[in-house]
Structure 1
Amino acid sequence: MATLDGQPVTPDDLLPLALTNLGHFTTLRVDADRRTRGLSLHMDRLVRDCAAVFGADLDTGRVRAHVRQALDGQDGPCVVRVTVYDPTVDVAHPEDADHPRVLVSVRPAGTATPPPLRAKSVRYERDLPEVKHTGLFGTLYARRAARRQGFDDALFFGADGQVSEGGTWNVGFLTDDGVVWPKAPALPGVTMTLLRQHVAHRVAPITLAEAKAARAAFATNAFIGVRALSAVDDAPMSVEHPLLDVLRETYVSLPGEEL
């Protein structure tokens, strides 16, 4: 069940979001002990994006209370999506949408470890890449096209040829110099931020050719943690590089924050 400001959501509540797609969100994995890695970063994102999209403040205490309520009766780890939008939005006057509300949805996280990811390079840059907004058409269109060609997802590069991010994940590369994160417009992911705080790395522009020449590559987000890439286009990647294990173990060892 989904809730809007703590109350069961109705189809009429969701219709403005479906028709306008003006909103932003964050997705977090909540473990069985009701703790979340990077919870403060998720809340910071919601506050920052609410100011950017709606010019409004957001009470993160209220958000956390709504998430706790939505988790009542749930067993095991869950994936929680918190979407912020204004149900009164009007296409003709989007400037009047300045009273955002909090939509919370929950689903089981599952326990299976996802296999390595085969990525298809796609020239694409999200609108406002620094905001985790609900405008997912371009991202899902690219993912659909990649999957219809036998890949698992899309890896984006810009008009300048620089790699930026994946469909719904950040990407990092392992080279002779260690961990390298692309310097390009991309979402500042929570998992990526946590790993940057704990694992030596550098940030540098990475062309698509350089990405394909890397020894290994990996995807990160709050749902998958760290997931190896097995290929970018026709270029195979090592899925057994020792630094991949370091990244995974580092992330898993990070303590969660209590909701």
Structure 2
Amino acid sequence: MNDGASLQGLRVLVTRPAAQADALCHLLEARGATALRLPLQSIEPVRQTATAARALAQARAAEAWIFTSANAVRQARRIDSGVWPRSIALGAATAAVLRQLGCEVDLPDGAYSSEAVLALPALQDVGGRRIVIVTGEGGRDALESALMARGAELEVIAVYRRVNLPHDPQSAARMVEQADVAVITNGEALARLMALMPVGREDRLRRLPLVVPSHRVVEQAQRLGFLSTPRVPEQVTDAAYLHCLECWRAETDRDDRTS
């Protein structure tokens, strides 16, 4: 099968927010897949944007700002147009947005995770140094806990929030039943999708193969009773999600031929 048809006939449920789903859906469709769009959340600024803007402005003397997502970068820039200190990115997509803004970025080699960020030389000797985490509301606290344990003067500034979108449960269940695989881009979206399932129709979702952004979401899926271990791309980028799906499809086809 040529690259242009590597996902021919595959039906992929894409739960990413509508404004951010186009690039991934176009990549999928260029490979012959059908993208089933079910945006579960929207990305919106925090309610107190003036408070967040003041916090960012007052944090310019920090040793570094750690951005946990591309959304964090975009929302921070909307409310703060000043010069930012040293930037550290949790992931290649986040680093790409920072570089588009002209920022110098520290990015782990290879692995993109909180653990990889914490291994960066710049974050080893942080005792008494001011570090800022720029993130969304309700983000994970692994970075926060580790940096505080190292003695950093830590501040967490939330600049965006995820808002669940209303969906008819029956319609959502029908989309799940049409899908061969789902791309879930955060743990909140996975929990939201499970909560949408009508009583008696959860099992179809639990049987659905998933591609998720991190091992933390893999663990969440296992706690929710998913039957197969979700795949995790090497990077949290559209191209990496596509490659992960192509590898899964090739392995599935090979297993079908040998069964």
- Tell me the TM-score range normalised by the shorter chain: under 0.3
Higher strand share: 1
TM-score (structure 2 length as normaliser): 0.26
Bigger helix share: 2
Bigger radius of gyration among the two: 2
